[in-house]
Amino acid sequence: MSMMRSRRLCWLARVLGVFPLTERPAGEPVKPDAKINAVFPADAASAMPRSWTTDFSRKARGDPGPKPMLLERSAFWTCYSVLFVSVVLCATVYCTLDDFFKGEAATGVRWTSRTDQYATLCEYLSLCISALASAISACAFVGPVIRQADLLAEVDALLGLPPPAPHRFLSLWLFVVLGVIVTDSSVWLVTGSNTVFDALEDLPLYVTYYMCFTSEVLFMSDALAVKERIASVNEILVSAMPPPGTLCVRRLAKAHAMLCEAMEAVSTRYGPPLAVDMVGVLLNLVITSYFSLEDLLPFSPPGDDGTLTFMEMVFAMLHLGRIVMLVEPGSSANREAERSAVLVGYLCSTVPHGSLMYEQLKAMSTQLHHQRPAFTHCGVIELDRSLIVSIVGSVTTYLLVLLQLKPTAIHDSHTNSTA
């Protein structure tokens, strides 16, 4: 696979049961894509012209860069994923239902009213469903992941470019999420009369949270990997603009077709779990926002400490950040793909009409018109920035409805008496 997905991220995903794959031996060659090679036969030249990589490629500076990371299925990690995810999710569901049926006797502050109970139950169960969908998709859609890795490695070889380095902000995002989880557990432990055993009861829930976060980061890294290759194709097109330069249109058209296949493979692998995950994130954002505002409203009883309310606000911001982080990589890749068509159209207007270059650019323009790549979740949700606006509007609507249900503490029904 591309170095956009770091080996440390792969190991973390394996441990959490959402990446049952191992690296293919380094000496094994990349499997060529037979279907695309049938449409675009190999050219006589074995590499891109050196002038194409003079400005932006480390290969032109003598730096070979990182080697591609190729993948294969692992029976051991598949069995481990099934066992690990089953144990964690069963423990999470058991602890959640146990607190739900305890009612006011539960140690968590989220179980003090009937509205709070059902809201918390919906949030935690949606989280379990998202984690289960991620694990099932990781085991069931191994083929598209391997195919995407081979396609990106072949595109790198075709363009004569090294695999791009991993984005460090993805690792930073995972550290931020881990820090929020540790802080939340520590705050809950020191607030009230909670014990270490009570904190350990929430450990399966935190692990389930981190499973979902890691699966989302895997999608982000794969989407950014495709986006970087499309950006490289666009940069080659820009470098060929006047003054006229050397341009092998067939290679670029073939690379673009492979990247479209890679985008389709990513959508196949992550589409079902991320569609479920987006619904879960929507519920989490609504419910955490509800709990953050509950203590600030006039009809709510005053809380003992504002620390827990602050942590609910932190989680609400975290869920909003999840939405942005999920949408932005796919949205940027879609914009780069649209930019390719604009650049090819401009190049058509700069070359002599009827020349071989013009005919090749015209054919590539037709290809880009009919083959419009886009990251989608099961073909239902297209990753675009307008999706963020839609989700924020939906959260506001559901939050207003939920806040109209004035929370009534369970113990109030026992303390009310007539005058």
Q: For residue range 151-203, what is the model confidence (pLDDT) as tens digits?
A: 888 888 888 877 777 788 888 999 999 999 988 888 877 776 667 777 778 88
Mean pLDDT across the stretch 82-88? Answer: 95
Domain boundaries, the chain: 7-22+66-405
Across 84-93, 97-106, 140-149, 184-193, least confident range: 97-106
Separation between Cα atoms, residue 415 and residue 259, nearest integer Å: 66
Between residues 241 and 49, which one has the greater pLDDT? 241
Upstream peptide bond of 144 is cis (omega within 30 degrees of 0): no
The distance from CA 391 to its chain's CA centroid, rounded to whole angstroms, is 16
Residue 132 banded pLDDT, cuts 50, 70, 90: very high
pLDDT band at 67 (very low <50, low <70, confident <90, very high): low
Q: Closest Cα to residue 410, out of 189, 129, 163, 114?
A: 114
Please name which of 203, 163, 139 lies closest in space to residue 57, comparing C-alpha atoms.
163
Q: Which of 107-111, 206-210, 248-252, 284-288 has the highest mean pLDDT?
A: 206-210
pLDDT bin (cut points 50, 70, 90) of residue 90 is very high
pLDDT-based confidence at residue 87 (cuts at 50, 70, 90) = very high
Judged against a pLDDT cut of 70, whether residue 50 lies above it is answered with: no
The predicted structure's pLDDT at residue 91: 94
297 burial level (CB within 10 Å; 0-12, 13-18, 19+): exposed
What's the pLDDT tens digit per position in 323-338? 999 999 988 988 888 8
Confidence of residue 80 (pLDDT cuts 50, 70, 90): very high
Position 55 scores a pLDDT of: 38
What is the model's pLDDT at position 86? 95
Please, what is the average pLDDT of the chain?
78
**Sign of the four-CA dihedral 157, 159, 161, 164:** negative
Cα Rg of the chain (Å, integer): 26
